[in-house]
């Protein structure tokens, strides 16, 4: 069961709207989902300094609704708020959205996501998962290869459940990425301690990856990859040209069920060349169902 039934898409009047809508259609539960298309009327006093939409909000939403096609329920909203991020956050709460999807800010950089102020503010406080997509990302249809950043934390377990659900639905390949940071050993005479620390960290990492792989639902056979160095840089590089969506958890503190950017998730948003989904602290019920439905003889993630 895919965890994304109510998908909120930010429509701002730029070419990136189509990128966000394309990703939303790939993420949504195809038979029971609802797309919520929203254009926020940003009424801040300095809005005159900001670029205005090329068309009226009603026309933008009508065009996005036509682009969404048939087969999925679609609704449109035009809330007013002090900022676009606040408007989308409040609407996500009101609509009980499972995920908010927005396109990159301008200008695009080397095929990578450019989250901009809107994307980062959403990741700092949205009440659900947040997905950002690089400019010009035109792939449609089922996902072929799902990447999951996994470090054994409860936040990573939420990303694991969501990534597995999408992979099981689409029959996609899965790769789990775990990064070992450089071991901070001492000076001379500490070589044995450094080696022991590295062996212990490596064993722990492999155990976490093996447990996460064993928790995969039927039909999903994850590949596990252990990397070394800066987590965001190494995962982004490993995923480039390989996976077509990357799932990552929030930081390990802050309100439950909020998507909060930590150093790794923020780095992935700045470095990734494929869509990135940041899952909130705590699991949405559908993602939790996936974990509970795993066979009893499988180790928990």
Select from 102, 166, 163, 175 the least CA-distant residue to 134: 102
Q: What is the pLDDT of residue 154?
A: 84
What's the full length of the chain, in residues?
Answer: 301
**Residue pair 176/184 in contact by the 8 Å Cβ criterion:** no
Q: Which CATH number fits domain 6-292: 3.40.50.12370, 3.40.50.1100, 2.40.50.140, 3.90.180.10?
A: 3.40.50.12370
Distances from the Cα of 198 to the Cα of 203, 211, 228, angstroms: 8, 20, 11
- The DSSP 8-state label assigned to residue 207 in this structure reads H
pLDDT in tens, 155-165: 899 999 999 99
| pLDDT higher at 270 or 286 | 270
E strands in the chain:
6-10, 34-38, 41-42, 73-77, 80-81, 99-103, 129-133, 145-149, 173-180, 223-228, 245-249, 276-279
**Residues 29-32: contacts with CB under 8 Å, at least 24 apart:** 29/1, 29/2, 29/4, 29/5, 30/71, 30/72, 32/5
Q: Dihedral of CA 149/152/157/161: which sign? A: positive
Q: What is the pLDDT of residue 61?
A: 92
What average pLDDT score do residues 18-31 get?
Answer: 92
Task: Answer yes or no: is pLDDT of 224 > 90.
Answer: yes
Q: What is the pLDDT of residue 211?
A: 95
Select from 226, 235, 282 the least CA-distant residue to 254: 282
* Segment of 22-31, 62-71, 260-269 carrying the highest mean pLDDT: 22-31
Percent of the chain with pLDDT over 70: 81
pLDDT in tens, 29-83: 988 899 999 999 876 544 444 555 557 888 999 999 998 887 889 999 999 999 9
pLDDT in tens, 167-214: 999 999 999 999 987 655 455 557 777 677 788 888 999 999 999 999
Sequence spans of domains, the chain:
6-292
Task: Answer yes or no: is pLDDT of 278 > 50.
Answer: yes
Q: What is the pLDDT of residue 34?
A: 94
pLDDT in tens, 231-252: 999 999 999 999 999 999 985 4
Range of weakest confidence among 166-170, 180-184, 263-267, 295-299 = 295-299
What average pLDDT score do residues 108-119 get?
Answer: 88
Q: Dihedral of CA 8/12/16/17: which sign? A: positive
Helix (H) / strand (E) element for 201: namely helix 191-214
Q: What is the pLDDT of residue 68?
A: 86
Q: What is the pLDDT of residue 287?
A: 35
Q: What is the pLDDT of residue 298?
A: 34
Q: Which backbone phi and psi does 203 adopt, to 5 degrees?
A: -65, -45
Q: How confident is the prediction for the chain on average, in pLDDT?
A: 83
- Alpha-carbon span 29 to 5, nearest angstrom: 5
What average pLDDT score do residues 6-32 get?
Answer: 92
- Alpha-carbon span 33 to 18, nearest angstrom: 19
Task: Answer yes or no: is pLDDT of 19 > 80.
Answer: yes
């Amino acid at each position: 069961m895919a965890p994304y039934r109510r998908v909120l898409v930010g429509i701002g009047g730029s070419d990136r709207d189509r990128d966000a809508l394309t990703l939303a259609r790939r993420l949504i539960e195809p038979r029971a989902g609802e797309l919520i298309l929203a254009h926020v009327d940003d009424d801040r006093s300095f809005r005159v300094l900001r670029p205005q939409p090329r068309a009226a909000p009603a026309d933008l939403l009508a065009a996005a609704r036509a682009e969404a096609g048939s087969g999925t329920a679609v609704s449109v909203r035009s809330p007013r708020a002090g900022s676009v991020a606040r408007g989308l956050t409040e609407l996500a709460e009101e609509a009980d959205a499972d995920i908010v999807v927005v396109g990159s800010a301008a200008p695009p950089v080397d095929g990578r996501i450019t989250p901009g102020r809107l994307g980062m503010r959403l990741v700092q406080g949205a009440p659900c998962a947040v997905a950002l997509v690089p400019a010009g990302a035109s792939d449609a249809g089922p996902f072929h290869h799902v990447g999951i950043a996994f470090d054994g934390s409860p936040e990573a377990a939420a990303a694991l459940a969501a990534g597995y659900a999408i992979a099981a639905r689409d029959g996609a390949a899965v790769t789990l990425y775990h990064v070992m940071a450089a071991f901070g050993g001492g000076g001379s005479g500490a070589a044995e301690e450094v080696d022991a620390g590295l062996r212990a960290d490596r064993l722990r990492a492999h155990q976490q990856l093996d447990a996460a792989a064993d928790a995969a639902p039927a039909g999903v056979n994850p590949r596990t990859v252990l990397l070394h160095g800066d987590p965001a840089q190494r995962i982004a590089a490993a995923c480039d040209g390989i996976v077509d969506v990357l799932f990552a958890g929030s930081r390990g503190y802050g309100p439950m069920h909020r998507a909060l950017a930590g150093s790794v998730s923020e780095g992935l948003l700045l470095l990734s060349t494929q869509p990135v989904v940041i899952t909130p602290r705590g699991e949405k019920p559908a993602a939790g169902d996936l974990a509970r439905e795993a066979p009893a003889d499988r180790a928990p993630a």
